[in-house]
Homo-oligomer: A and B are copies of this chain.
């Protein structure tokens, strides 16, 4: 699903990850984190896809770098991050970026 973001500039966190074969609690906590992120100040939206091979890309959008820092430090999110390292992922890459231009198009 597309995120409906405001006019740039705004910020993006590009989170790419490879899932492990450990499924316990993953889907439940992943859903919780999306709900929790959506209640954070400065949250603008999220787009997420995971392929059948377990490689996934999640891009969350934020109003400021401060909003990203606050989300990174949020208590339940920190617990989930720990479980991610310990159990759910075999590798991950997080990139913080400032969106300077965008273009949206929908058919018809």
**Bound state CA distance, A49 and B18, in angstroms?**
12
Shortest distance from the beta carbon of A68 to any chain B beta carbon, whole Å: 9
- Chain A residue total in the interface (Cβ 8 A): 40
Which residues in B have their C-beta under 8 angstroms from that of A100?
Answer: 96-98
Q: Are B91 and A95 in contact (CB under 8 A)?
A: no
For window 60-85 of A, CB contacts with B under 8 Å fall at 85
- Chain B residues, CB < 8 A from A49: 49-51, 55-57
Instruction: Indicate which residue in B16, B94, B99 contacts A96 across the interface (CB closer than 8 Å).
Output: B99
Closest 8 CB pairs of A and B: A97-B97, A91-B106, A95-B102, A97-B99, A96-B101, A49-B49, A57-B57, A49-B51
